[in-house]
Amino acid sequence: MSALLLTVAKGTSIAIVVQPSVITVAADSAEFRLDRSGGRSVPVCKVDVVNRVLILLAGLAGDADRNFDPLGIARAASSTKGGVTAVMDQFKDSAMKALPAEIDDAKGRNSSMYQDWKAGGPILEIFMGTVGAGGAVKRAQCIFLLSGDQVKPDCPVLGTDGKTLTMGTHQSLLSPLKASPLQFVRSAVDNEIAASQRLGDGRVGPPITTATFDAKGIHYVEPGKCPDPASGKQK
């Protein structure tokens, strides 16, 4: 059996601003990995682009024992034809096949996480976005929740441009967008890192990744732990 049991992004903080031809995002880099010694926080990249699809995830990030890999599922789904809605539908179908076993398993080996889900905490959150050659932004989002002992996906129809979104933990509601989008999303995540450090839980942590995503692809302002295509390096 693998020493790594579950990978939990419970404390993940992601802030997003959607505008007519660009998506601006900031994310922390802390991923909490549960193991037999209790757990530890490790830095990872949380801003992924595959097949020109922006992928952002929060919640249950993986289970090594069961080979459950939400990011891998999302990457595989990104090749689905028919646009971002079709990609999300493919992800949802695949995730729904795997999540019931994860729920049953959590009852026995991670009761605190299971109780958090029972109280309404998201099991898994995912945002996907594309920007067409003409600048049209298309996006989809799903939140997987526990209703009784059944997993229920909530995939709302998202509004139009100018929308601000958050994923993961946020202690307070975002204020109206007044600063530049990059300043706005970075400040939102920075505030959550500061709150986590005050609590000493390590569930949200540096470095911060900030980036814009448009028809030409991803543009990292602060790569954080993500590989920067412009430099070929990972920071």
CATH number of residue 151's parent domain: 3.60.20.10
pLDDT of 232 reads: 46
Residue 232 placed within a domain: no
Residue 1 has pLDDT above 70, yes or no: no
Number of domains in the chain: 1
**Which range, 45-49, 58-62, 134-138, 195-199, is most confident?**
45-49
pLDDT of 205 reads: 87
Residue 148 placed within a domain: yes
pLDDT of 9 reads: 45
Q: Which two tokens stand for residue 2?
A: 């693998």
Euclidean distance between CA atoms 233 and 48, whole angstroms: 15
Higher model confidence: residue 34 or residue 129?
129
In the chain, alpha helices (H): 70-77, 84-109, 111-118, 181-199
Predicted TM-score (pTM) of the model is: 0.86
Residue 97 placed within a domain: yes
pLDDT tens per residue, range 173-226: 455 566 688 998 998 899 888 888 888 776 788 999 999 999 999 999 999 999
Phi, psi for 167 (deg, rounded to 5): -135, 150
Q: With the CA atoms of 60, 43, 34 and 155 taken in that order, what torsion angle do they form, in degrees rounded to the nearest 10?
A: -10
Residue 234 placed within a domain: no
In 110-137, alpha helices (H): 111-118
* Domain housing 191: 4-227
Residue 102 placed within a domain: yes
